[in-house]
Amino acid sequence: MKNFDIPEIYKSSIISRLKEYRKSQDPRKKDFSPTELDFGPVKFLVARHFGFCYGVENAIEIAYKTIEENPGKRIFLLSEMIHNPMVNLDLQSRGIQFVMDTYGNQLIDWGEVGSDDLMIIPAFGTTLEIEKLLEEKGIDTLRYNTTCPFVEKVWTRAETLGKEEFTVIIHGKAGHEETRATFSHTERSGKSIIVRDIGEAKILADLILGVRSKEEFYQIFQEKFSEGFDIEKDLERIGVVNQTTMLASDTQAIAELFRNTLMKKYGEENLKNHFADTRDTLCYATNDNQSATIGLLEHDADLAIVIGGYNSSNTSHIVELLQGKFPTYFISGEGRIVSEELISHFDIHSRKEIATENYLPNKKKVAIAITSGASCPDSVVDEVLNKLLSFFRNTKSKEEVLAISEHP
């Protein structure tokens, strides 16, 4: 795996050291149990895998090199580089301007962007329509393209499916940059539909079996299917791909639902003509993060802290998993930990930041599970860990605990 050149501000002294140790001991990632950091009155259960993935590190390296190599040039980003406020604010402080927000709303008019300007395409990729617009303006769409290779892998598979006359079911959020891009790239070669979750997938399965009417399809999936979609013809052959930040287990459940639906309709002997196996498109980093989260759930903790951008899809799914067992607090950084008695955190259900008092239990030894999303720098996790540690007295030194953790 390539080593990327990312700024020092994103590196850490604690988490990076733990990751290196776990990597050396378990290079094939067979053990997803957390690392225990026992400081005496408080113990942290640090997830086996989290933080910057290959695609994020690649995007950050390209963005900072673009700034360094082009002094005096106007540099634009199509939208947020990744879903992390620290990274995006730092890029803006260095002069990069965002053309759109994360939902595709225009922040800078296209008329203000010209052929002399540089345009960075974020890790989520972009639509073919925007690529064409940039090319017409004389802007290079390849040199500063940071699209994640695993997103491009989904596009390649979807294109193949389309050419083989399979309709592509995209498991994702219709408003997310990556899903908008995948939908655009998929539409070039075939038909596609976006389903958000297993609930929408079941509705579509009912439509395939004729349990629901065509009118329901066009109403429920409005603006989420290809132009000219024919419900009677275009649901006979199906393949499922996903927005790479969705829960892999959910994507697999959706794929299995459609597999069983098509088998019921056409018979097991004809299944290969109607259902394409696309398990090879699932993102390894998302899978690893989710496996590590499940590893946390196999241990006992008094609470869980999840760190990341509030608009980060993969981080929200980690929160979702942990909430099933622990009181879970989703924060953007150590600044949201107001004191040992008060924490300000994001509620993924109301989509609002809320405050909770007495989040740390009053007991002799507190156990805290800790992890982050794929776009969160390790340095931010360090800061959170240090802030929480400062609330406890008579703790062991970090050097002592790290030495024990690395050599149990």
Residue 91 · residue 117 · CB < 8 Å: no
Query: What DSSP string describes 269-325?
Result: GGGGGTEE--GGGS-HHHHHHHHHHHHHHTS--SEEEEES-TT-HHHHHHHHHHHTT
**What is the DSSP secondary-structure string of 126-139?**
--HHHHHHHHHTT-
Q: Which of 57, 178, 187, 383 is catalytic?
A: 178
Positive or negative, the CA dihedral 112, 115, 116, 122 is positive
User: How many angstroms from the chain centroid is the CA of residue 260?
Assistant: 28
> Does residue 136 carry a catalytic annotation?
no
Question: DSSP letter string over 319-387?
Answer: HHHHHTTS-EEEESSGGGB-SSSEEEEEETTTTEEEEEES-S--SSSEEEEEEE-TTS-HHHHHHHHHH
CA dihedral sign of residues 257, 32, 360, 308: negative
Place of tokens 């006992």: 300
DSSP state, 116? T
Catalytic residue set: 178
